[in-house]
Chains A and B, each alone.
Chain A
């Protein structure tokens, strides 16, 4: 008797081979047992069966591949459509999910990133994302010394510095850090050392740590960089270390870390909140425990400093989560859209496979009747489906690589992540697996059906069945529904961006060049050298041919969105108003011609002018909302108010500007003449941005302006050179990217739905040609036949559009925070989406309907 083990071993062979040769092999095995004994025969059998079974499988695969190539060459349309559909689905999904996963799921490149948190001022009871204010030095010190949840707490402040001495002077983004910050992040430098909290405070005051990128670009990767001196803002600093290339903090563009030195007087004002707090939780402390401790600590502080903290709390979140909720909604909505597309891809693949199945049943029935076993047929179909899926997946990977850079713009720049999200092979695998399962599952249908019957039954039976037809209709309706959802989604976003763009910024952007000359501290800390610089630059720029007006300002609207200060009217209690939001105004120093350069209208009084100097009365120009807020029923001109310890007189009223961007409400604005600024003005308010309005192409002025600045100060770099129009356009760059992506997905969805509808109807016509032929032969009008088909298409469209609209409405409500006031039920968008869907259906069914109406009854009947 053949041992069970050998029979089990033989199962490694394909069933067809087994049926032919198992008996012979078993007999040979029995003889082998006689010759070599049981064990010897068993060992020999293992060595014999495994390689030979593999070889037999391989030979069949090669055969099937040859057959597949032949059969797909015949049905080229089917092959191309299937590959295209798979590629689109797999590509779009891989790219979208890789981007979203990168921003939402990937751990930061620090050891134990979940223990890293950001701490800032929030509102009592709302402790999640969203800083109301950053920390004041005093509050930072309190958190660092009086709480127990943290292993270490540090503070940082982002700045820019002028790096001179190596080639052209350049402006580079840098971050001031307390000595705790780099050690608590946990990434050691590749060269030298980082700042060290255990050293005395003054040791590292003139030390810097540089990023790998800066080390390579500015210092050529100099191996002996540690100990070298560089000039930053005119002050020498010693390089003590270089961070590895993967280290990004707080954002990827920062390549330089300098010591944050807090002088004693910095701790006086608790309202001056400019330090960003970062901490590492103690190993034994959970996120929730730390949150509870901070909440209790906030109550303590309120009692201790009733004037400074009222209704106060900490905002506390993981470093990982430092992105606005809107970014999350954007990313999740793209994921949703992408999933829709995957669903569509699968529906379409299923449909294509079903159509092909019906087409091939006869061919397979013939082969079954000629003796091909079920296993052979199934394998054959499997190979074909697999070839299509593999081709589609490869094309999909290429498509993903093309789409990914576009999506990369959606990664929030607030996260310390490398700039470009890499494609994630896991998501590729997942999308490809979905496509493969659908393709394979439906690809096997014909073989299963045929093999389940006796050969003649399959041959006799006609093609397809009404149940399958209904399944295909349901699939097409699903495709229409998904298209509606994506169309409505992108339509609403387009309406929203249109609305955003309708918001008047309050100034005019055409032909205004902006650039920054950030004057370094301490050289320009006092007024005299600063004013001298402006005196040497401004008149000469204004004298350039084509220049209409030129002015300096502390910061451009929509770029400098902070810089808010408190306002007091004479006689008011300063302490009571200290943290009152309704008393806040944006605070800027501007030179004369600023309002002219930006075309901000002067409503009352006068512009600031260059004779408003320190020796003269201190004046201010305020915005209309400022005047309304403080003197609702009186003439604001000549009124006085107090800010930052100085009393100012209003001499002019100008139009309001959207300082915080088109989509946010801005505080009232106040402008002071630059020549009335004082020594030790904070870096935020020092005039540094030059705006130049010109009658010709403003960019042609750049070389001349560069020369003027160099002549005023050879060490002074120019940076942030942009047209003001681009500054405003940058406001909606995420929105535009999102619309492009969602729009592209919607277009794809429509295309797929169109293919689906066309495929189904073309197939119906091919299948019913005999019936249609009989109808026509019996005198039916061709137009009636065509209408019948169009009716089918409209039914399918309606079946999809109605549920699609309902889901779209739900989705729109979920993303209403991005809609900028466009209602989620916006009738125009919904109407447009259904019209577009109907048009797609119309295009999809045009050819099949025409064909049906033009069937020649005689040919159709003869074919049977």
Chain B
């Protein structure tokens, strides 16, 4: 196993809040408030993270190396004082691993005749 794989194995499965934050950062760098909004939108208002939970998660994810603060933003449209975050390679690998784990689970459920689509 490579070092990256080791680290992934140590961190997965991810807590739901962590996965949501990672998913928000897959397509673009975002600042904290934008992450909250994105999660809320994606879950159709079901999950609204509080600022406290978000920044506690962010602090931990930075420490774990899943995400990193973007050093400087160039676009003028953005608020220069905001702190932006991006996915790191470890963060991306963990996201993939977590999604794979979930897909596998869904597959098992389907094989046993339980269809997540039907409510």
Within 8 Å CB of A20, what residues of B?
A: 59
CB atoms of B51 and A25 under 8 A apart: yes
Q: With A21-B58, A56-B59, A59-B60 given, is the CB distance from A27 to B33 under 8 Å?
A: yes
14 contacts between A and B (CB under 8 A): A24-B55, A24-B82, A24-B83, A28-B32, A28-B36, A31-B33, A32-B51, A47-B50, A48-B51, A48-B52, A48-B53, A49-B52, A53-B52, A56-B59
Q: A28-B36, A49-B52 are in contact. List 5 more A-B contacts (CB 8 A).
A: A17-B55, A20-B59, A24-B31, A24-B83, A56-B59
Within 8 Å CB of B31, what residues of A?
A: 24
The residue of chain A having its C-beta at the shortest distance from the C-beta of B60 within the complex is A59
CB atoms of A25 and B56 under 8 A apart: no
Q: Is A52 an interface residue (CB 8 A)?
A: yes
Convert B43-64 into 0s and 1s, putting 1 for each residue whose CB lies closer than 8 angstroms to a CB of A. 0000000111111101110000
B96 to chain A, nearest CB (A): 25
Q: With A29-B51, A44-B50 given, is the CB distance from A55 to B33 under 8 Å?
A: no
Chain A residues 1 to 42 lying within 8 A of chain B, measured CB to CB, are: 17, 20-21, 23-25, 27-29, 31-32
Residue of A48, A53, A59 near B50 (CB, 8 A) is A48
Within 8 Å CB of B55, what residues of A?
A: 17, 21, 24-25, 52
Within 8 Å CB of B33, what residues of A?
A: 24, 27-28, 31
Give bound CA distance, A24 to B35, whole Å. Answer: 12
Q: Is B112 an interface residue (CB 8 A)?
A: no
Within 8 Å CB of B81, what residues of A?
A: 23
B109 to chain A, nearest CB (A): 32
Q: With A23-B81, A28-B32 given, is the CB distance from A17 to B59 under 8 Å?
A: yes
CB atoms of B59 and A21 under 8 A apart: yes
What is the interface of chain A, defined by CB distance below 8 A to chain B? 17, 20-21, 23-25, 27-29, 31-32, 44, 47-49, 51-53, 55-56, 59
Within 8 Å CB of A17, what residues of B?
A: 55, 59
The residue of chain A having its C-beta at the shortest distance from the C-beta of B51 within the complex is A28
B65 to chain A, nearest CB (A): 15
- Residue with the greatest number of chain A CB neighbours at <10 A, chosen from B51, B60, B81: B51
Give bound CA distance, A597 to B71, whole Å. Answer: 102
Give bound CA distance, A21 to B33, whole Å. Answer: 12
B41 to chain A, nearest CB (A): 15
Chain B residues 79 to 99 lying within 8 A of chain A, measured CB to CB, are: 81-83
Give bound CA distance, A49 to B33, whole Å. Answer: 16
The residue of chain B having its C-beta at the shortest distance from the C-beta of A24 within the complex is B32
- Residue with the greatest number of chain B CB neighbours at <10 A, chosen from A28, A31, A49, A53: A28
Give bound CA distance, A51 to B56, whole Å. Answer: 11
Give bound CA distance, A17 to B55, whole Å. Answer: 9
Residue of A23, A25, A59 near B52 (CB, 8 A) is A25
CB atoms of B56 and A55 under 8 A apart: yes
Give bound CA distance, A32 to B51, whole Å. Answer: 9
Within 8 Å CB of A23, what residues of B?
A: 81
CB atoms of B59 and A52 under 8 A apart: no
Within 8 Å CB of B51, what residues of A?
A: 24-25, 28-29, 32, 48
The residue of chain A having its C-beta at the shortest distance from the C-beta of B59 within the complex is A17
A244 to chain B, nearest CB (A): 56
CB atoms of B56 and A56 under 8 A apart: yes
Within 8 Å CB of A29, what residues of B?
A: 51
The residue of chain A having its C-beta at the shortest distance from the C-beta of B83 within the complex is A24
The residue of chain A having its C-beta at the shortest distance from the C-beta of B36 within the complex is A28
Within 8 Å CB of A49, what residues of B?
A: 52
A47 to chain B, nearest CB (A): 8
Give 9 closest A-B pairs by Cβ, nearest first. A52-B52, A28-B51, A48-B52, A48-B50, A21-B55, A52-B56, A24-B32, A25-B51, A49-B52
Give bound CA distance, A25 to B53, whole Å. Answer: 10
Give bound CA distance, A29 to B36, whole Å. Answer: 13
The residue of chain B having its C-beta at the shortest distance from the C-beta of A51 within the complex is B52
Give bound CA distance, A31 to B51, whole Å. Answer: 10
Within 8 Å CB of B56, what residues of A?
A: 52, 55-56
Within 8 Å CB of A28, what residues of B?
A: 32-33, 36, 51, 54
A268 to chain B, nearest CB (A): 91
Give bound CA distance, A20 to B56, whole Å. Answer: 11
B45 to chain A, nearest CB (A): 13
The residue of chain A having its C-beta at the shortest distance from the C-beta of B50 within the complex is A48
Give bound CA distance, A24 to B36, whole Å. Answer: 12
Give bound CA distance, A49 to B52, whole Å. Answer: 6
Give bound CA distance, A289 to B83, whole Å. Answer: 80
A174 to chain B, nearest CB (A): 71
Within 8 Å CB of A53, what residues of B?
A: 52
Give bound CA distance, A27 to B54, whole Å. Answer: 13
B61 to chain A, nearest CB (A): 12
Give bound CA distance, A59 to B62, whole Å. Answer: 14
The residue of chain B having its C-beta at the shortest distance from the C-beta of A14 within the complex is B59
A27 to chain B, nearest CB (A): 7
The residue of chain A having its C-beta at the shortest distance from the C-beta of B81 within the complex is A23
- Residue with the greatest number of chain A CB neighbours at <10 A, chosen from B31, B52, B54: B52
Within 8 Å CB of A55, what residues of B?
A: 56
CB atoms of B53 and A52 under 8 A apart: yes
Within 8 Å CB of B52, what residues of A?
A: 25, 48-49, 51-53
The residue of chain B having its C-beta at the shortest distance from the C-beta of A52 within the complex is B52
Give bound CA distance, A521 to B45, whole Å. Answer: 96
The residue of chain A having its C-beta at the shortest distance from the C-beta of B69 within the complex is A20
Within 8 Å CB of B50, what residues of A?
A: 44, 47-48, 52
Within 8 Å CB of B59, what residues of A?
A: 17, 20-21, 56
Give bound CA distance, A32 to B56, whole Å. Answer: 18
Within 8 Å CB of A52, what residues of B?
A: 50, 52-53, 55-56
A23 to chain B, nearest CB (A): 7
Within 8 Å CB of B82, what residues of A?
A: 24, 27
Give bound CA distance, A756 to B34, whole Å. Answer: 59
Give bound CA distance, A47 to B51, whole Å. Answer: 11
B79 to chain A, nearest CB (A): 9
Give bound CA distance, A28 to B54, whole Å. Answer: 11
B84 to chain A, nearest CB (A): 11
Within 8 Å CB of A21, what residues of B?
A: 55, 58-59
Within 8 Å CB of A47, what residues of B?
A: 50
Give bound CA distance, A230 to B100, whole Å. Answer: 85
Within 8 Å CB of A56, what residues of B?
A: 56, 59
B62 to chain A, nearest CB (A): 9
- Residue with the greatest number of chain B CB neighbours at <10 A, chosen from A23, A24, A47: A24
A372 to chain B, nearest CB (A): 13
Give bound CA distance, A25 to B59, whole Å. Answer: 13
Within 8 Å CB of B53, what residues of A?
A: 48, 52
B54 to chain A, nearest CB (A): 8
Give bound CA distance, A27 to B55, whole Å. Answer: 12
Give bound CA distance, A192 to B50, whole Å. Answer: 68
The residue of chain A having its C-beta at the shortest distance from the C-beta of B53 within the complex is A52
The residue of chain B having its C-beta at the shortest distance from the C-beta of A28 within the complex is B51
The residue of chain B having its C-beta at the shortest distance from the C-beta of A49 within the complex is B52
The residue of chain B having its C-beta at the shortest distance from the C-beta of A9 within the complex is B52
The residue of chain A having its C-beta at the shortest distance from the C-beta of B37 within the complex is A31
Give bound CA distance, A797 to B46, whole Å. Answer: 74
B55 to chain A, nearest CB (A): 4
- Residue with the greatest number of chain B CB neighbours at <10 A, chosen from A21, A55, A56, A59: A21
B73 to chain A, nearest CB (A): 14
- Residue with the greatest number of chain B CB neighbours at <10 A, chosen from A47, A48, A59: A48
Give bound CA distance, A265 to B33, whole Å. Answer: 102
The residue of chain A having its C-beta at the shortest distance from the C-beta of B56 within the complex is A52
Within 8 Å CB of A25, what residues of B?
A: 51-52, 55
Give bound CA distance, A27 to B60, whole Å. Answer: 20
Give bound CA distance, A25 to B51, whole Å. Answer: 6
Give bound CA distance, A29 to B51, whole Å. Answer: 8
The residue of chain B having its C-beta at the shortest distance from the C-beta of A56 within the complex is B56
Give bound CA distance, A851 to B11, whole Å. Answer: 48
Within 8 Å CB of B83, what residues of A?
A: 24
Within 8 Å CB of B54, what residues of A?
A: 28
Within 8 Å CB of A48, what residues of B?
A: 50-53
The residue of chain A having its C-beta at the shortest distance from the C-beta of B79 within the complex is A27
Within 8 Å CB of A27, what residues of B?
A: 33, 82
A67 to chain B, nearest CB (A): 13
